[in-house]
Amino acid sequence: MILTSTRPSQLASSVLRVEHLTVSVGGSAAPKAVVSDLSFTLAPGETLCIAGESGSGKSMTALAIMGLLPKPAARIAGGAIRLGDTDLATLDERALRRIRGDRVAMIFQEPMTSLNPVLTIGRQLTEAIRAHRPVSSAEARKRAIATLEAVRIPDAAARLSQHPHELSGGMRQRVMIAMALALEPDVLIADEPTTALDVTVQAQVLGLLKELQQKFGTAIILITHDMGVVAEMADRVVVMRQGEVVEEGAVEALFSAPTHPYTQALLAAVPRMGFGDGRQATAMAADQTVAASALPPVAMLNDLTVRFDLTGGLFGRVQRQVHAVAGVSLEIAANETYSLVGESGCGKSTTAKALAGLVPYAGDIVVGGRNMGGLDAKGRKAMRRDVQMIFQDPFASLDPRMTAGDLVAEPLVIHAIGDKAEQRERTAELFRRVGLSPDQMARYPHEFSGGQRQRICIARALALRPKLIVADESVSALDVSVQARVLELLRELQQEFGIAYLFISHDMAVVENISTHVAVMYLGQIVERGTRDQVFGDPRHAYTRRLIAAVPQPDPARRQLAGLQRLDGEIPSPVRRVGDPPVRLVLEDVGGGHMVAA
């Protein structure tokens, strides 16, 4: 069923006008403006992107429009937000509730925390519909099914009885879009709706938003720090920095001739497919890899298999298994950045955790010439000096009760390396090496920015001078400029210390810019691997071509929305009955070490 919209407001010249908006935090005693004198208009059917780094005021602007500012910590200190003839800034909570979801709706960044985990999808959809429309339960259910079908969720009627945790990340995000569009709002605010999504799921979501916008005439405010998404979606762009607008204009003009230095810096920091220093760094690292080829590999995986049991029935017997990793083999050399790419659920993070000794596995993992499977507790502890890990969320991986200095020094303490004075001196040197000041060692994690916290994690990983660092989505949540600085730091440290990286990411542009070798994973198996230039320059497997085609390009002239809308479907389930073998793919050499699954 396709929904149609006939709202008269779509015929107006502008559906939303933000006039000199100022948002303050800190209360009346010491107010601080986090959004200052912001003005813009939004036309029906238009997509306005608000871009900028964390702390620029993007999300606070969205919360102010929705009337969701965390009071009394934050408040609208001045200006107007006009939806038609209504000033939203002057409405009380009861009046705002009548407008939210009906005329203005919002898609939040993380659907798992935005959806109620104890309520079914159907309950949450029908509640939203009946809160604004005088319809029966049956009619609300019918409309809920129609909205799920509109966002291309298969078997929509059956999904109504499921809970959020039973759906994939991309499906949950589509449910959020369905909820936001169920009442055909005039304005849809999407706050970083694709940041945590795989590149193909991101492509599906962006294409879906554009398709539904064309059907309903909805005006969209898209908030993002991803300039590739901006180029793909925007009609106009507002660039914010520290709560103020530094540049505004049509997307083509802004990308072709940005006038403000901050906009220029943002665009310069965007990793681009086939451009930038990554190719030079790859060539240099490839030369280093050839020089080290006579040495044993730093790490070697042979027929790595990881399965997780799923119990059920009256006695809780194992009935099914998740075949997370199925027969993965690869070698990582010194000075090499070996990237694993693929969609969520393909097994790349499980492979990394097995290599770091964090999950049980079958097969062989050899690090520094030692097979991990034959090591006792003492041997595994010694092995961990050679393998360290950088996690995706630096704030979650740092103990908030410990100072930054103690966190970086902790591996030295655990392995009894040096006395206290030597440990402190080495910690201070690590802080300097990652671009932090030793004076910051006494601070706690919450006192640092996201990029600084990731630098602390890198310093901690370097403390034991490992041979291999596993970086699992280590830059995916960072702003584009911070991301560029962290990637450059990783390159510098690799050249200085000869570290090998296993780099795990769903960002294909980042992977192309930092990798020497790439392996593409699908359903727990490698379907293509080779040098960076082989995989990106001449992709042989259809799945690899699909991943590369889905990357949004930071160039409005190269929009590919039609292609994005064709990217349907999800990875099949890796769950099998006990005793059922996985589908085993065979890698065949297509020349020069370039392997493709047959």
Q: What is the pLDDT of residues 54-78, one digit of tens each?
A: 778 888 899 999 999 888 888 899 9
pLDDT at 345: 73
- Work out the pLDDT band at 560, boundaries 50, 70, 90: low
pLDDT score of 288 more than 60: no
- Work out the pLDDT band at 572, boundaries 50, 70, 90: low
- Work out the pLDDT band at 21, boundaries 50, 70, 90: very high
Q: Which residues contact 311 (CB under 8 A, 6 or more apart)?
A: 317, 318, 319
Least confident window among 142-151, 166-175, 515-524: 166-175
CA angle (258 as vertex; 257, 260 as ends), nearest 5:
145
- Work out the pLDDT band at 528, boundaries 50, 70, 90: very high
Q: DSSP E strands: which ranges in 373-448?
A: 387-390
Q: Which residues contact 82 (CB under 8 A, 6 or more apart)?
A: 16, 17, 18, 19, 88
Going from the C-alpha of 526 to that of each of 201, 330, 385, the distances in angstroms are 20, 9, 28
Least confident window among 96-105, 203-212, 256-265: 203-212
Residue that wins the pLDDT comparison between 129 and 197: 129
pLDDT score of 158 more than 80: yes
Judged on CB neighbours under 10 Å (0-12, 13-18, 19+), 173 is buried
20-24, 199-203, 269-273: which is most confident: 20-24
Q: What is the largest CA-CA distance in the chain?
A: 75
> Which residue blocks in 117-268 are alpha helix, DSSP H?
121-132, 137-150, 156-159, 169-181, 199-216, 227-233, 251-256, 261-268
pLDDT at 168: 67
- Work out the pLDDT band at 402, boundaries 50, 70, 90: very high
pLDDT at 382: 82
pLDDT at 260: 94
- Work out the pLDDT band at 520, boundaries 50, 70, 90: very high
For residues 487-495, give the mean pLDDT. Answer: 86
Angle separating helix axes 121-132 and 137-150, nearest 10 degrees: 110
pLDDT at 15: 92
Tokens 């070798």: give the residue: 517
Q: Give the three-class secondary structure for 77.
A: strand
Handedness of CA 534, 539, 544, 549 (dihedral sign): positive
Least confident window among 12-16, 463-467, 551-555, 568-572: 568-572
Q: How many CA atoms lie within 13 Å of 193's alpha carbon, on the beta-carbon side?
A: 33
pLDDT at 275: 55
pTM above 0.95, yes or no: no
pLDDT in tens, 237-253: 999 998 999 999 999 99
Task: Give the C-alpha separation, 484 to 269, whole Å.
Answer: 6
pLDDT at 108: 83
pLDDT at 586: 81
pLDDT score of 1 more than 60: no
Tokens 């010194």: give the residue: 334
Task: List the chain domain ranges.
Answer: 8-268, 278-331+344-374+507-597
Residue that wins the pLDDT comparison between 343 and 63: 63
Residue that wins the pLDDT comparison between 566 and 72: 72
Length of the chain: 598
pLDDT score of 265 more than 90: no
pLDDT at 500: 93
Give me the chain's average pLDDT, please: 83
Top-level class of domain 278-331+344-374+507-597: alpha beta
Task: Give the C-alpha separation, 598 to 588, whole Å.
Answer: 6
pLDDT score of 6 more than 60: no
CATH superfamily of 8-268: P-loop containing nucleotide triphosphate hydrolases (3.40.50.300)
For residues 542-567, give the mean pLDDT. Answer: 73
Task: Give the C-alpha separation, 532 to 513, whole Å.
Answer: 9
In CATH terms, are 8-268 and 278-331+344-374+507-597 the same topology? Answer: yes
pLDDT at 291: 47
Least confident window among 359-368, 506-515, 517-526, 548-557: 548-557
pLDDT at 121: 92
Residue that wins the pLDDT comparison between 407 and 192: 407
pLDDT score of 217 more than 90: no
